[in-house]
Amino acid sequence: MAKGTQSLEQFYRDKYGSLSEDLQKNIGQFNVFRIEDRIRTGTTSPTYIRRDFFKIMLFQGDGVFHYGDKSIPISGHTLLFFHPQVPYTYDPLLPGTTGYFCVFRDEFFKEQLRVNVGQLPLFTMGPQPVFALNDDQTQEVKTLFEKMVRELDSDYRYKYELIRSYVSELMYVAMKLQPANDVYEHPDAAARITSVFTELLERQFPIESTSQRFELRSPKSFAEKLAVHVNYLNRAIKKTTGHTTTELIFERLTAEAKALLKHTTWNIAEISYVLGFEDQAHFNNFFRKQTAMTPSGFRQV
């Protein structure tokens, strides 16, 4: 599993090498790509890395997409949705695979939609957002992507407003469809779910400002993100690592607490807040149990 972060800016740099003036101006807004172009450039198999953007894909061909410990084999014409907080990967793309995908951040829609994009059913936990399309549905979706491509290449002053309407239509069309139910569990499901749990845990660090906050603090919160039962998550992690889910969370939380105490000038109340504790007293008790020292005592060593 790859570590690190892939921002939308890095995604563009990986594709283009450098950013054009127009792309720099509109970075974080929106872009659309043809899958066959990705195959030609050799970019055919992603890894579990952090992404900070949403993705919608029209996939035409055969393949397998992996969400957590579940895998979804697809064939023919398929519409897929990807949330930045849900790690995923897919098998290497086969020659002859075609289609489109667009990428954007939540702020691209803030003025148009009354809810955050991530709150739409397409991007919430539960049934995987994968939709098999018939010929008529495929043509409807393909037409919307083709319109996005044409507008993006145009000099029209209000092209992004028009593109937003196309993406909105695409999302609402999808919400009328029935998600694919051809899902199977890998024989190494415990290892896969542990790998994705680790990715979700690590992506919350490092904490770099006092406005940032560690939020996934319990096995239950991780299980909800991964759309699995908390008991299943706990069994998988225990089987794979020999440790409990709580032990791994506390171990990583303690390591970050030590780093913040040693390498920042933040006061202990601020460190307590960014690490997700209700108050400084709870943080002091937690740190003492984990290290046999108080936070202030550790800072002075």
User: Domain with 171 in it: what CATH number?
Assistant: 2.60.120
Q: Which two tokens stand for residue 194?
A: 């542990």
Q: Which of 184, 215, 230 represents a domain boundary (last residue)?
A: 184
Q: What SS3 string covers 102-147?
A: EEECHHHHCCCCCCCHHHCHHHCCCCCCEEECCHHHHHHHHHHHHH
| 100 & 240 share domain | no
Q: Sign of torsion, CA 171 175 178 182?
A: positive
pLDDT in tens, the chain (301 residues): 333 444 444 544 554 444 444 444 444 468 899 998 877 766 554 554 446 788 899 999 999 887 766 678 889 999 998 877 666 778 888 888 999 999 888 778 765 655 566 666 676 545 567 889 999 999 999 999 999 999 998 999 889 889 999 998 998 888 888 665 554 455 577 887 888 888 788 888 888 889 889 888 899 999 888 878 899 999 999 999 999 999 999 999 999 999 999 989 999 999 999 999 989 999 999 999 999 999 999 998 8
Q: Which two tokens stand for residue 33?
A: 């790509």
- Residue 203's SS3 state is coil
- Residue 301's SS3 state is coil
Q: Which of 162, 184, 206 represents a domain boundary (last residue)?
A: 184
Q: Which of 146, 162, 184 represents a domain boundary (last residue)?
A: 184
| 29 & 177 share domain | yes
| 65 & 192 share domain | no
Q: Which residues pair with 191 in a beta bridge?
A: none
| 163 & 24 share domain | yes
| 174 & 275 share domain | no
Measure the CA–CA gap between 46 and 32, rounded to whole angstroms.
17
| 269 & 214 share domain | yes
| 175 & 200 share domain | no
Count how many domains the chain has.
2
| 154 & 220 share domain | no
| 59 & 11 share domain | yes
Q: In whole angstroms, how far apart are CA 268 and each of 204, 212, 264, 278?
A: 19, 15, 10, 13
| 220 & 139 share domain | no
> Which domain range does residue 195 map to?
187-300
Measure the CA–CA gap between 61 and 222, rounded to whole angstroms.
32
User: Domain with 247 in it: what CATH number?
Assistant: 1.10.10.60
What integer pLDDT is reported at residue 199 of this predicted model?
Answer: 79
Angle at 227 between CA 47 and CA 137, to 5 degrees: 75
Q: 0.85 cut: is pTM over it?
A: no
